[in-house]
Structure 1
Amino acid sequence: MFVVPPSYADTVVQGILQLQWADPPRALPGRAQAAPHLDVWLETAPGQRVALDAAQARRAAGDLYALANRHVAVSYESPLSKAARAASSSPSIGAIVPTGRVAARATALGAEGRVMASAPVLGSTRWVTLMCKFADIAAEQKPREFFQSQYGDAPGQLGHYWSEVSYGQIDLAGSSAHGWYTLPQPREAYLALVNGKQKAQLSQLFADCAAAADVDVDFRGAQGVNLMFNGELDGNAWGGGACATLDGAYTCTRVTWSPPWSFANLAPLAHEMGHGYGLPHSNNSDGDADTYDNPWDLMSDAWRNATSDATFGTLPKHVNMYQRERLGWLPATRKRVIASDNGETQEFVLDAGSLQGSTNTQLVVLATPAQPDPYKTVIYTLEARRRTGTYESRLAGDAVIIHKLEDYGIAYSIDTDTPAADVSNNEGSMLQVGERWNTPDERHWIEVVAATADGFRIRVGPRPRSMSSPAPALVKPATQTASSQPPVNTGTPSPPVATARAATARGRCDALPALLRHPMLCALLER
């Protein structure tokens, strides 16, 4: 494998973009969680790769994750001065753009002002599992039948999970498992010392495992390869993409690398497959370096608040709604965008993300003013989660979950507690009936009005207008679906008109920023 560093003479380099995510196991009690790692490579020719700085690549690509396993061009920026060039051994990345056929929505600007750069993942996504043994380790932890059954369509199996989380937009039809095959070298031969730490040589593992299985396996039409190893790698499971010779052709595809602790549980395996599909990590808003502390999302904390199965271990929970929409899984009719200059109050039903076939909203986007770089435009999203079904029944609660989208497409769950909790399965991370939240710029406020059979009725409004302007009108849906019916009448008489007006006035006062909630201003609102 040749790693070719770029030079100042190379202004544009083309190749296939490869992302590889390292994910450590869940930390033991009392131990700090190990950090994730992202490698970014440009495969310029068989066996030749250019390493890309991950932070530079994120900025240069905008949505780096949408370009994985695609042909791209990387342009470099050379410092103007000789002194600056002497201080750096390689130029910085200026832009990364796709050069192959681009999906129809790949560069569309969303109504919320962010670029929707993702290529949809739709249809049949057949995966092949290869079980490979190191030459010096004889153990075979699971039989082939176990790995084959992971792809099943029954609840608690990967075929069922990915169909449910994608609303039927993808399936794993035709996926198969093969092995065990013996690798040509012992485990130590697949480890290299990089920056003082052992690191698995992923490309070599893929190449040797695929070569060992080549006689038995038909790779034609496969859209991903799950590699299972009978020993530890470098302390991580890995997911993303890689290139190897498959059926005589040099092919770049989705790949995962799983040691025994990973393949014994569907949750970490699904997490790595998520990276293969182009999903980045999610996070919470506590500001620490631990990305695995948002248990509402498979792509953050796959372990906590998760269901389990006697055969397949810890099961995956769902992915946040923004990422589902990004991959083309959420119908456009189930997304509602509240413009940054919204001037009206809206009330509607927000169905839980787990509900299949919903006819209501399942993703709300609160837009903020667009930035010159649309990838830096911050948005907030609302989604409903309920403790139900095979994968979501052990969530922390039934609630509306708020995410902030920034950092080139990373979703951070919002915690209203101060300080934010280390793990976002606390009350502050759940907006529940009767609670209200404002965006930090107070451009939008939201209130959870009531629970419904499948989610919540919520109210969204703009920042209060000046005292001389009329209050915004309440906008209600023209029709109501079965899941959006109002609560059953309990027989309690309606409040007198004066009481209702006072309650409305108090509501308007509550909508004011805290600094403006002066008794005299509230009294004016009561007139």
Structure 2
Amino acid sequence: MKSRILRRVAASAVALACAVLGTVALPAAPATASPIRNATAWSVLLCKFSDKPAEPKAPSFFANFLTAAGIGTGGVADYLADQSGGRVSLAGSAVRGWYTMPYTLAQFQSIDRWTRLQRCVDTAATAGYGVPAGNRIAVMLNDWVDSGAAGGRVLLDPGAWNVGFAAHEMLHGYNLGHSFSNDTTYQNAPWSQPGEYDDPWDEMSAMHIHAFGTTNYGTSAVGLNGPHRDELGWLPKNRVFTMAADGVGSRTLTLAPLEVPAASGPQLVRIPFDPADLFHYYTVEFRRKTGWSAGIPADTVLLHEVRNGTPTLLRTGPGGGPAQSLNANGVQIGVNWVSGNSASVTVTTDVVNRCLQGYVWREARPGDLVCVTGATRSQVWADNAAAPSRWVNGPYGPHTCVAGYVWREAYAGDDVCVTGTQRSQAAADNAAAASRRNPARLVSGPNTCVSGYVWRDADQSDYVCVTGTTRSQVLADNAVAASRWVSGPYGTHTCVAGYVWREAFLGDDVCVTGSQRSQAAADNAAGPGRVLRPAG
């Protein structure tokens, strides 16, 4: 398959499609995507213009292209199943139409995208099909006018009936944003931001991606980058390594490729460095030229900077390739080698010694990295400056303290004379030092829960935020799962009487009480509102 980067032209441009008519591009907003699991049903509505009766494709084409009916044919269902590791399906999706709208093609030219979408939805409703509650919506138009996303809905005209375009817009339906590069000379469109759409290794830069031609559905999608998979909860916790969270500031790591989850090793490395923003970090991932990433030029390691939930590919410079090293913000990253399903990187960071937000190094002497309040440090420096005036020759030598002062003893040999209160402060600060140092240990990534909630942890990919009591119950149910299974009409994991499958996610057959299954469903529905957003 021939690799190529597809750039936007004319009406098929995804960059244009992702814009809303009449608006000006603004800086990337904080991410709003949340973990997506289970069946995500779409209502695919086919609508014709009143003066354009042609039906370019049969409904069966769209069923195969955009729903679970097409599993195995290389459509969007296959793409999402692969990228999510089987955590997402399009089961329950439906294709309806063609419906003839009471509008001409010309009448669609001057209205906004949301209105275009709604007119098709209204036409379907008039014809007897109401979109079920909870279904996402994708509208297909039978002539060229507009393609893109608006308000979580997707609009595709004939120029967008390919996997690369459709997957990009449907991922917007899961609240995923665009990807960027640090090449500010790259301008995809007059209205787009510098660097926007310039991560060709990521589907959220479509159609400026490393793609190939599919057998059935035109231009392919490319795999998602690591930060976007992480944001959607599609990387298990045990495959994401947060550098320095354990207090070790330098490691050589062997990565597994995102495209080959069966390979051993972390698939994403997070490297926090910003105490003021725990959602601001670097990432390292390894990509292989296979599967949906068959169009990328070669196997490679990619570095990103993530801020406000938006991943920015680090390039070597304007128009340059992916950076293979980094030395910035107290972080050093170097790629050692790439071979088969493994890549070796060495990462060093000084974040282990950095203070949490609100604290600074005390610096009672060079190398004193105990974290204290700014007021305490000012007092320490003032005491250092006054030290000679508080020393006298006495029973403890020339550094005996004058009456009313004692040695500070912030470290061994610290004979600066301070008040008793200041010595007690130094001792208390020393005792609290570990709790005020190393922000990396507090970094949980894009799906961090708001205060009062924790991850449910029904499995390694369960990022739903629940109360501590609920998680304890979930873990207890997991521990006794085998005792509640019997061979029966639903196989070897049929539940004993009085229990039902929990169904917290696809394939969750742990047997629980009915109330616990209801709790899991309620937590799934409430989950997005319990995620701590960047800058939130």
Q: Normalising by the residue count of structure 1, what TM-score does the alignment of the two structures yield?
A: 0.58
CA contact (8 A) 1:240 1:273 kept: no
Instruction: Tell me the residue number matched to 1:385.
Output: 287
Residue identity in the other structure for 2:163: L
Asked if 1:232 corresponds to 2:144, the answer is yes
Instruction: Tell me the residue number matched to 1:153.
Output: 71
Question: 1:35 and 1:133, CA in 2 relative to 1: closer, same or farther beyond 3 A?
Answer: closer
Instruction: Tell me the residue number matched to 1:187.
Output: 105
The structure 1 segments of at least 4 consecutive aligned residues displaced by more than 6 Å after TM superposition are: 51-54
CA contact (8 A) 1:444 1:461 kept: yes
Question: 1:447 and 1:155, CA in 2 relative to 1: closer, same or farther beyond 3 A?
Answer: farther
Post-superposition shift, 1:38? 4.6
Q: Distance in 2 between matches of 1:53 and 1:412?
A: 21
Please give the per-residue CA displacement for 1:378-420, whole angstroms capped at 9, x wherever unaligned: 311111100012x1111021111111123x322111112x4x2
Q: Distance in 2 between matches of 1:334 and 1:457?
A: 15
Question: 1:227 and 1:397, CA in 2 relative to 1: closer, same or farther beyond 3 A?
Answer: same
Please give the per-residue CA displacement for 1:112-144, whole angstroms capped at 9, x wherever unaligned: xxxxxx432111001121111111222222111
1:267 to 138, 161, 164: 164
2:217 to 312, 318, 330: 312
Asked if 1:141 corresponds to 2:56, the answer is yes
1:172 to 79, 90, 93: 90
Instruction: Tell me the residue number matched to 1:247.
Output: none
Q: Distance in 2 between matches of 1:189 and 1:35?
A: 20
Name the SS for the 2:168 alignment partner: helix
Post-superposition shift, 1:146? 0.9
Question: 1:55 and 1:403, CA in 2 relative to 1: closer, same or farther beyond 3 A?
Answer: same
Name the SS for the 1:208 alignment partner: helix
Question: 1:334 and 1:26, CA in 2 relative to 1: closer, same or farther beyond 3 A?
Answer: same
Residue identity in the other structure for 1:323: H
Q: Distance in 1 between matches of 2:166 and 2:224?
A: 14
Post-superposition shift, 1:208? 2.4
Residue identity in the other structure for 2:297: A
Post-superposition shift, 1:335? 0.7
Q: Distance in 1 between matches of 2:338 and 2:73?
A: 27
Name the SS for the 2:53 alignment partner: coil
Post-superposition shift, 1:338? 1.6
Asked if 1:447 corresponds to 2:334, the answer is yes
Post-superposition shift, 1:39? 4.8
Name the SS for the 1:204 alignment partner: helix
Q: Distance in 1 between matches of 2:59 and 2:244?
A: 52
Instruction: Tell me the residue number matched to 1:203.
Output: 114
Give the 5 Å matches for 1:439-518. Answer: 439-441=327-329, 443-462=330-349
Question: 1:281 and 1:188, CA in 2 relative to 1: closer, same or farther beyond 3 A?
Answer: same
CA contact (8 A) 1:240 1:272 kept: no
Please give the per-residue CA displacement for 1:476-510, whole angstroms capped at 9, x wherever unaligned: xxxxxxxxxxxxxxxxxxxxxxxxxxxxxxxxxxx
Question: 1:27 and 1:350, CA in 2 relative to 1: closer, same or farther beyond 3 A?
Answer: same
Instruction: Tell me the residue number matched to 2:406.
Output: none
Q: Distance in 2 between matches of 1:57 and 1:449?
A: 33
Residue identity in the other structure for 1:456: A
Give the 5 Å matches for 1:275-286. Answer: 275-286=172-183
CA contact (8 A) 1:348 1:459 kept: yes
Asked if 1:127 corresponds to 2:42, the answer is yes
CA contact (8 A) 1:344 1:462 kept: yes
Question: 1:429 and 1:267, CA in 2 relative to 1: closer, same or farther beyond 3 A?
Answer: same
Residue identity in the other structure for 1:439: N
Post-superposition shift, 1:226? 1.0
Q: Distance in 1 between matches of 2:249 and 2:178?
A: 34
CA contact (8 A) 2:222 2:295 kept: no
Instruction: Tell me the residue number matched to 1:413.
Output: 313
Instruction: Tell me the residue number matched to 2:242.
Output: 337
- Of all paired residues, the percent bearing the same amino acid is 27
Q: Distance in 2 between matches of 1:341 and 1:358?
A: 24
Q: Normalising by the residue count of structure 2, what TM-score does the alignment of the two structures yield?
A: 0.57
Post-superposition shift, 1:52? 10
Q: Distance in 1 between matches of 2:209 and 2:113?
A: 28
Instruction: Tell me the residue number matched to 1:295.
Output: 200
Q: Distance in 1 between matches of 2:89 and 2:350?
A: 43
Q: Distance in 2 between matches of 1:54 and 1:393?
A: 32
Instruction: Tell me the residue number matched to 1:499.
Output: none
Instruction: Tell me the residue number matched to 2:526.
Output: none
Question: 1:168 and 1:439, CA in 2 relative to 1: closer, same or farther beyond 3 A?
Answer: farther
Q: Distance in 1 between matches of 2:215 and 2:205?
A: 23
Residue identity in the other structure for 1:321: G
Question: 1:339 and 1:312, CA in 2 relative to 1: closer, same or farther beyond 3 A?
Answer: same
Question: 1:146 and 1:464, CA in 2 relative to 1: closer, same or farther beyond 3 A?
Answer: closer
Residue identity in the other structure for 2:286: A
Question: 1:464 and 1:163, CA in 2 relative to 1: closer, same or farther beyond 3 A?
Answer: closer
Instruction: Tell me the residue number matched to 1:429.
Output: 322
Compare the two structures and name the one with the higher strand fraction: 1
**Paired positions, count:** 336
Residue identity in the other structure for 2:176: L
Post-superposition shift, 1:33? 9.7
Please give the per-residue CA displacement for 1:9-65, whole angstroms capped at 9, x wherever unaligned: xxxxxxxxxxxxxxxx94359xx996565559xxxxxxxxxx99974993xxx43xx
Question: 1:266 and 1:216, CA in 2 relative to 1: closer, same or farther beyond 3 A?
Answer: farther
Post-superposition shift, 1:336? 0.9
Question: 1:308 and 1:216, CA in 2 relative to 1: closer, same or farther beyond 3 A?
Answer: farther
Instruction: Tell me the residue number matched to 2:428.
Output: none
Residue identity in the other structure for 1:387: K
Post-superposition shift, 1:462? 3.3
Post-superposition shift, 1:364? 0.7
Name the SS for the 1:272 alignment partner: helix
Please give the per-residue CA displacement for 1:50-91, whole angstroms capped at 9, x wherever unaligned: x99974993xxx43xx2xxxxxxxxxxxxxxxxxxxxxxxxx
Post-superposition shift, 1:177? 1.6
Please give the per-residue CA displacement for 1:307-363, whole angstroms capped at 9, x wherever unaligned: 222320011111111111112221111111124996532122211111234542011
Compare the two structures and name the one with the higher helix fraction: 2
Q: Structure 1 residues 139-148 or 342-351, which shifts more?
A: 342-351
Residue identity in the other structure for 1:412: T
Asked if 1:163 corresponds to 2:56, the answer is no
Asked if 1:397 corresponds to 2:298, the answer is yes
Post-superposition shift, 1:222? 4.8
CA contact (8 A) 2:20 2:112 kept: no
Residue identity in the other structure for 1:228: M
Give the 5 Å matches for 1:29-108. Answer: 38-39=19-20, 55=26, 58=29, 62-63=30-31, 66=32
Structure 1, gaps ≥5 residues long:
1-24, 41-50, 67-117, 193-199, 242-253, 432-436, 470-527
Instruction: Tell me the residue number matched to 2:123.
Output: 212
Name the SS for the 1:299 alignment partner: helix
Q: Distance in 2 between matches of 1:57 and 1:354?
A: 27
CA contact (8 A) 1:128 1:222 kept: no
